[in-house]
Structure formats: C-alpha cells, structure tokens
Amino acid sequence: MSKNIARQRKLNLWPAFFVGPHILLFIVFFLFPSVYGIYIAFTEWNLFTSPEFVGLDNFKTILFDQESSFHDQFYNGLKNTFLFVVITVPFCIIVPLVLASALLAKPKLHRLFQSIFYLPSLFAISAVMIIWQFLLSLSYGPLNNYFDISTNMLNTQPYAWIALVVVTVWWSIGANMIIYLAALNGVSKDLMEAAELDGAGAVSRFFKISLPSIKYQILFTTVMTTIAQFNVYGQPLMLTGGGPTDSTRVLLMDIQQNAFGKGISIAGVSSAMAVMLGICIMIVSAFQFILLRDRD
C-alpha cells in the first residue's frame, strides 16, 4: 500500500516538472517586470539612483499638464498608435480570411501560395524593415526606379502611413491565414452540402455558415492582432523614423526614448505612459469581447 502511495506521489510530480520551468520564466521575465514597472510609474527614477515615490504626479503630467512636453508626447503618440490600430487591424483580419477562403478551394499550386503568404511572418521585424527600406528608397529603390516615382514615400504623407500599413499587413497576415484555413477546414461538410442543395450560393454559404462557424477563431485573432498592433514599434522606428514631423511617431517610441534614450532617463514618466497604454489595450480588448461575444 505504501509503495502505491509513493508511486502515485512520484507520478504527481511529473506535471510540476514540465510546468515548473514555464512558471519560473513567466514570473522572472513577465510578472515581476510588469509589477515593478507599475510601481516605477509612481516614482521619479533615472535608472541609477533609488526610486523616489511621487504618487500620481507622473500621470497628472502626461494627462493634464499642457505645459509639459511629456503631455504632448503622450497624446501625439497615443493618437498615432490608435490610428495605426484602426487602419491595420481590419486589413489583418479581412485579408487573411479572403486568402484562407481562396486556398480552401484548393486551386493549382495552393500549397505553394500558402507557403508564400505565410513566409513573411517568419522574418524578424528588422529584416522586414531593411527589405522595404531598400524597395522604397528614393535613390536606389526598384519601385521608384521602375515606376519613375520622384516622391520620398517614407518622408511624405500620406505615403508614409500607406507604407507602414502595407508593410505591416504583408508581414503579419500569415499566422491569421493559417488559423482561418484550419478553422474553415473544420466547418461541417454536411451542413455546407445541405445548404448547396437548398440553392444557397457560395457567398451565402460563406456568410451564413462558414463565418458563424469560425466566430471564436475570429474573436481570438481580432483581440490578439489588436494587442500586437498597439505594441507597434519596429515599423515606424526603422521605416519612417516617426516622420514626417512626428506624424508616424507612436507611443512606444516615446516610452523607449524617455527611459533609455540619450540624456537623463525619465523612467517614471515612461512607465506611466506604458501603464496608460496597457489600460487602453485592456479597455479595447474588453470592448471587442463584449461586441463579438455570443448573443441569445
């Protein structure tokens, strides 16, 4: 009896053996930095001296002090971040859905096209930006040379925003496309055949059967894509530098610059900006869940 108990206890340790490292890494690299970052938002800190608690002063500065440059940075960065999210998220949901629907019909070379559409999502953001900097360069870029474009697209509006959106959509649609393709493959074939026998066309079957059947996958990808786009940083940093005249400068660029840029670090203000950005993400995500949840 005691041997069975000892064996059972040994077996119960196996889940902890596999889950333990993940929990440890989660605490060290996510939970602790997040909690400490929230604490720093209530302090004045330059990364070298001890943090000095200042209460809500940092939040008052970025939210209400119109004389402060941090107030202007926060609202300009937040505005550009929201604009980026509003423009890119619909494309990052609709385009993969269209591609997945087309690939579901299994046209010729559909495996090749599936690989081509998915391939950009495997590239690092730095590699993607270097590729597109070369393509859009005014002096030696092939697009400008072949089409005789005389405008610097990366330093002129609205072309700078168009470039950011196109590059982001091209880079990020692959993962959502694979999720939608797997979800559409799981739609009931019997239901689709019954609808076809009843005279429903392809478009009608897609909107009345396929879309409702994959609503959870659409909700998941919508929320995750929105969170990812709120954290935009590499695209404007490397492609446009935040220009022209800070029109593409997003909030994370200001957060990084204030905390780790040249000069004196203002980590407390940067953390306050990061906390406010996190609150915005949570509010938008909750709104999406409410909007897209099941209704009786």
* 55-63: Cβ within 8 A, 24+ apart: 58/268, 58/269, 58/271, 58/272, 59/272, 59/275, 59/276, 61/269, 61/272, 62/269, 62/272, 62/273, 62/276, 63/276
Return d(Cα 97, Cα 277) in angstroms, integer.
29
8 A C-beta contact, residue 236 and residue 132: no
Are residues 112 and 225 both part of a single domain?
A: yes
pLDDT of 152 > 70? The answer is yes
Any domain includes 48:
no
Q: Which segment, 74-83, 207-216, 233-242, is predicted with the most confidence on average?
A: 74-83
pLDDT of 5 > 90? The answer is no
Q: Which of 146-150, 153-157, 161-165, 245-249 has the lowest mean pLDDT?
A: 146-150
Any domain includes 285:
yes
Which residue type is seen at 129? M
Are residues 16 and 119 both part of a single domain?
A: no
SS3 53: strand
For helices 57-64 and 69-104, the axis angle rounded to 10 degrees is 80
Count, residues in the chain: 296
Phi (first) and psi of residue 295, to 5 degrees: -125, 140
Are residues 27 and 60 both part of a single domain?
A: no
Q: What is the pLDDT of residue 8?
A: 59
Q: What is the pLDDT of residue 296?
A: 44
The structure tokens listed for 162 are: 């168009």
- Whether a cis peptide bond, with omega within 30° of 0, leads into 96 is no
Are residues 87 and 138 both part of a single domain?
A: yes
Return d(Cα 77, Cα 71) in angstroms, integer.
10
> What's the whole-number mean pLDDT along residues 100-122?
90
Query: 137 versus 252: which is more confidently predicted?
Result: 252
Q: Choose among 62, 86, 88, 65: nearest CA to 76.
A: 62
Are residues 168 and 270 both part of a single domain?
A: yes
Structural domain for 128, as ranges = 53-292
Any domain includes 139:
yes
Tell me what the pLDDT averaged over the chain comes to: 87
265 — pLDDT class (breaks 50, 70, 90)? confident
CA atoms within 13 A on the CB side of 25: 5
Are residues 25 and 110 both part of a single domain?
A: no
Instruction: Tell me the residue ranges of DSSP E strands in 204-264.
Output: none
Return d(Cα 66, Cα 25) in angstroms, integer.
41
Q: What is the pLDDT of residue 146?
A: 73
Are residues 8 and 110 both part of a single domain?
A: no
Q: What is the pLDDT of residue 6?
A: 58
Any domain includes 218:
yes
Residues of the chain above pLDDT 90, percent: 55
CATH code of residue 124: 1.10.3720.10
255 — pLDDT class (breaks 50, 70, 90)? very high
Q: What is the pLDDT of residue 237?
A: 92
Query: 264 versus 46: which is more confidently predicted?
Result: 46
Any domain includes 33:
yes
Are residues 111 and 29 both part of a single domain?
A: no
Any domain includes 57:
yes
Are residues 134 and 269 both part of a single domain?
A: yes
Are residues 34 and 58 both part of a single domain?
A: no
Are residues 95 and 192 both part of a single domain?
A: yes
Per the structure, the count of domains in the chain is 2
Q: What is the pLDDT of residue 2?
A: 57
> What's the whole-number mean pLDDT along residues 82-105?
94
Are residues 121 and 206 both part of a single domain?
A: yes
SS3 112: helix
Any domain includes 45:
no
> What's the whole-number mean pLDDT along residues 276-286?
93
Any domain includes 47:
no
138 — pLDDT class (breaks 50, 70, 90)? confident
pLDDT of 148 > 70? The answer is no
22-41 per-position pLDDT tens digit: 899 999 988 999 999 999 99
Q: Choose among 194, 192, 198: nearest CA to 104.
A: 192
